[in-house]
């Protein structure tokens, strides 16, 4: 018996020694890989993982968006999107400030002026831009925004701008309500400023930088992170294994990559422009400045007869522009009847027995905040999450409503997000079963404005793939996309979050989700058409209209 016991103890000791040896070898190998290599993982067109190893010692500057493996269809789509967004800026060499577009010298005139117009008629406006020497400009490329509005009626709609590349622009409006209708045209950026923004977009995507804290015991280090990191220092590779979304941090000197604790916005690069370039970004001079009319800036619109109104409504196709308009401060989509959820009980009735997922940036977090403030039975459950970051959760136990908010994965400019809370929207969608009581709303745009467009296209491609799969397995799931919106601009904000950047992102989003089977809340038009100043986070009256539209998709009027 004692001999058997001794043999058993000897066997256990040998096994323990063997396990320790194996553990040491594995740890050494992991640390070696951690110090010496960076792994880039992508998904090819067949959905298989393709991995490549790049040494961290002798490495060229790496930009994940330049190394995508795309199918022929994806490549064709990306090329088409980029071609459609080619902004026609002439190569005229350096332009002095005095030769740049001056909104105060420029003017517009109503072309088809008449004694009166009927609702549904087209209004055409010609804009002629001039420089600060009051000389006509011979080329285009300015970024203009246009709207019609009736202040007393709290009515407004946007117009479509056409650039003739010769200093003249034509703006087309559809007159959608009766009364006195005023025209407003604004210069957001002159051509010369757009050239600067293009250069920053392509050459300095790192002008917003991010950081992560690494910690183990009493040792902590902070390093810079981004989609693209210059230089040849060793990197920590946090590329998502499922979506292939690249994310890198400079490797800490003393800690392994696995010790990452959080993610946060590091800051904004300064001194991006020369003195000459700074002149093209001046508040009160050439950023979101009005262009005045050389004659009357308003027209009179009379109602149509009932029969004509019905024909007008029936003639509206899928490409309706504008998509809607304000009247008495209420948004009126032109393709369907939107409900007004003015009472909390109406919202409760609509969302009863539903799970609502809100994914994205702070502009859709506003929806969570509005709902939990306006609906008393929807009580926020304290998860201990950082303020303004999340994730957040609200519950109405009586009516069986669950409301969730989660921010999208990096790049995201929030203060501090714990590493284990950095979830990509596509991965979250893949974890949802779906069904008639499942509602998903997505807003991903603002934090991509500093990057080349390929970065945003890839993110939307991954989200779209997950949305299509969700709708395939659960066709009754309601999926809503919130578009980008205009915001207030100053000299510095323009370099990072210009409306021109966000207009590009908005255009890409609409094209990529066209025909997918999702609903669109047109936040872009809803901010441009409103009389309130543009804000990154629009005022409550605009958010209320966004939620009314969202809830109208969830609980449409019975027809």
Task: List the chain pLDDT tens, one digit each, 559 residues.
Answer: 445 544 555 555 565 555 544 444 443 333 333 333 333 322 222 232 233 323 232 323 336 556 678 899 999 999 999 999 999 888 888 999 999 999 999 999 999 877 789 999 999 999 999 999 999 999 999 999 999 999 999 999 999 999 999 999 999 999 999 999 999 999 999 999 999 999 999 899 889 999 999 999 999 999 999 998 878 899 999 999 999 999 999 999 999 999 999 999 999 999 999 999 999 999 999 999 999 999 999 999 999 876 555 444 433 434 689 999 999 999 999 999 999 999 999 999 999 999 999 999 999 999 999 999 999 999 999 888 788 888 999 999 999 999 999 999 999 999 899 999 999 999 999 999 999 999 999 999 999 999 999 999 999 999 999 999 999 999 999 999 999 999 999 999 999 999 999 999 999 999 999 999 999 999 999 999 999 999 999 999 999 999 999 999 999 987 5
Query: How high is the pLDDT of residue 390?
Result: 85
> Encoding tokens for residue 194?
């757009």
> Encoding tokens for residue 124?
């055409």
> Encoding tokens for residue 22?
């194996």
Give the integer Cα–Cα distance in Å for 211 and 419.
Answer: 11
> Encoding tokens for residue 229?
């990191």
> Encoding tokens for residue 232?
């040849």
β-bridge mates for residue 392, sequence order: 405
Query: How high is the pLDDT of residue 46?
Result: 28
Q: Which DSSP letter does residue 377 get?
A: T
Query: How high is the pLDDT of residue 91?
Result: 81
Query: How high is the pLDDT of residue 20?
Result: 46
First-residue to last-residue Cα distance in the chain: 86
> Any idea which fold 325-554 has?
Rossmann fold (3.40.50)
Give the integer Cα–Cα distance in Å for 427 and 406.
Answer: 12
Distances (CA, A) of 364 to 118, 147, 444, 531, 552: 37, 25, 9, 21, 17
Distances (CA, A) of 295 to 111, 125, 136, 349: 10, 11, 18, 52
> What residues does each domain of the chain span?
97-189+286-305, 208-268, 325-554
Give the integer Cα–Cα distance in Å for 550 and 370.
Answer: 13
> Encoding tokens for residue 167?
């200093």
Query: How high is the pLDDT of residue 47?
Result: 31
Query: How high is the pLDDT of residue 90?
Result: 82
Give the integer Cα–Cα distance in Å for 482 and 408.
Answer: 14
Query: How high is the pLDDT of residue 112?
Result: 83
Give the integer Cα–Cα distance in Å for 216 and 259.
Answer: 6
> Encoding tokens for residue 479?
């999926």
Max Cα distance, the chain (Å):
115
Give the integer Cα–Cα distance in Å for 258 and 152.
Answer: 60
Write phi, then psi, for 425 (nearest 5 degrees).
-60, -40
Q: Could you write out the three-class secondary structure of 271-334?
A: CCCCHHHHCCCCECCCECEEEEECCCCEEEEECCCHHHHHHHHHCCCCCCCCCEEEECCEEEEC
Q: Are 458 and 246 in contact (CB under 8 A)?
A: no
Rounded to the nearest 10 degrees, how much is the dihedral formed by the CA atoms of 315, 316, 319, 323?
160
Alpha-helix residue ranges (DSSP H) falling in 89-153: none
Q: Which DSSP letter does residue 387 get?
A: T
> Encoding tokens for residue 332?
């009126």
Around 242, how many Cα atoms within 13 Å sit in the side-chain half-sphere? 14
Give the integer Cα–Cα distance in Å for 384 and 192.
Answer: 47
Give the integer Cα–Cα distance in Å for 211 and 413.
Answer: 10
Query: How high is the pLDDT of residue 4?
Result: 54
Q: Cα 308 from chain centroid?
A: 39
Query: How high is the pLDDT of residue 150?
Result: 98
Q: Strand 401-407 and strand 392-396: pairing? A: antiparallel
Residue 112: exposed, middle, or buried by beta-carbon count in 10 A (0-12, 13-18, 19+)? exposed
Give the integer Cα–Cα distance in Å for 28 and 23.
Answer: 9
Helices (H) and strands (E) in the chain, counts: 13, 29
pTM: 0.86
Residue 110: exposed, middle, or buried by beta-carbon count in 10 A (0-12, 13-18, 19+)? buried
β-bridge mates for residue 173, sequence order: 123
CATH homologous superfamily for 97-189+286-305?
Answer: Immunoglobulins (2.60.40.10)
Query: How high is the pLDDT of residue 476?
Result: 97
Query: How high is the pLDDT of residue 49?
Result: 26
CB atoms within 10 A of CB 396: 20
Distances (CA, A) of 68 to 63, 227, 465, 499, 508: 10, 13, 16, 28, 18
553 φ/ψ sector (left φ>0, alpha ψ -120 to 50, else beta) = alpha
């Amino acid at each position: 018996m004692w001999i058997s016991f001794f043999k058993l103890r000897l066997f256990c000791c040998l096994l323990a020694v063997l396990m320790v040896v194996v553990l040491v070898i594995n740890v050494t190998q992991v640390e070696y890989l951690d110090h010496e290599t960076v792994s880039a993982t992508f998904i090819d067109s067949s959905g298989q993982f393709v991995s490549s190893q790049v040494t961290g010692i002798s490495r060229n500057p790496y930009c994940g968006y330049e190394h995508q493996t795309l199918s022929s269809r994806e490549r064709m789509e990306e090329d088409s999107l980029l071609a459609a967004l080619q902004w026609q800026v002439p190569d005229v060499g350096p332009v002095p400030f005095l030769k740049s577009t001056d909104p105060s010298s420029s003017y517009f005139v109503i072309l088809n002026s008449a004694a009166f117009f009927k609702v549904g008629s087209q209004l055409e406006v010609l804009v002629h831009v001039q420089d600060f020497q009051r000389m006509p400009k011979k080329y285009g490329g300015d970024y203009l925004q246009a709207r019609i509005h009736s202040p007393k009626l709290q009515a407004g709609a946007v117009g479509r701008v056409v650039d003739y590349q010769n200093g003249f622009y034509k703006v087309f409006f559809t007159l959608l309500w009766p009364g006195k209708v005023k025209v407003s045209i604004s210069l957001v950026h002159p051509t010369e400023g757009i050239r600067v923004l293009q250069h920053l977009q392509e050459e300095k995507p790192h002008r917003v930088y991010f950081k992560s804290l690494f910690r183990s015991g009493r040792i902590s280090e902070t390093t810079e992170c981004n989609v693209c990191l210059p230089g040849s220092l060793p990197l920590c590779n946090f590329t998502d294994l499922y979506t292939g979304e690249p994310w890198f941090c400079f490797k800490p000197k003393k800690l392994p990559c696995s010790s990452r604790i959080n993610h946060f916005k590091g800051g904004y690069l300064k001194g991006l422009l020369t003195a000459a370039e700074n002149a093209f970004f001046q508040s009160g001079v050439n950023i979101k400045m009005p262009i005045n009319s050389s004659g009357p800036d308003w027209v009179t619109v009379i109602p149509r007869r009932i029969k004509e109104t019905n024909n007008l409504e029936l003639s509206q196709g899928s490409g309706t522009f504008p998509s809607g308009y304000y009247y008495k401060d209420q948004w009126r989509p032109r393709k369907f009847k939107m409900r007004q959820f003015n009472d909390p009980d109406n919202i409760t009735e609509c969302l009863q027995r539903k799970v609502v997922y809100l994914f994205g940036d702070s502009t859709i977090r506003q929806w969570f905040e509005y709902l939990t403030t306006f609906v008393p039975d929807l009580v926020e459950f304290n998860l201990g999450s950082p303020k303004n970051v999340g994730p957040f959760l609200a519950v109405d136990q009586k009516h069986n409503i669950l409301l969730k908010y989660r921010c999208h994965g990096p790049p995201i400019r929030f203060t501090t997000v714990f590493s284990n809370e950095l979830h990509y929207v596509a991965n979250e969608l893949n974890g949802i079963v779906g069904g008639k009581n499942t509602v998903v709303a997505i807003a991903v745009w603002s934090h991509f404005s500093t990057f080349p467009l390929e970065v945003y296209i890839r993110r939307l491609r991954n989200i779209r793939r997950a949305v299509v799969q969700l709708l395939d397995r659960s066709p009754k799931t309601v999926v809503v996309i919130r578009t980008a919106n205009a915001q207030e601009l100053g000299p510095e904000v323009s370099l990072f979050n210009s409306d021109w950047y966000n207009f590009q992102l908005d255009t890409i989003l609409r094209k990529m989700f066209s025909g997918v089977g999702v609903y669109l809340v047109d936040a872009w038009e809803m901010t441009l058409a409103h009389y309130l100043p543009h804000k990154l986070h629009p005022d409550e009256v605009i958010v209320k209209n966004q939620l009314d539209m969202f809830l109208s998709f969830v609980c449409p009027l019975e027809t």
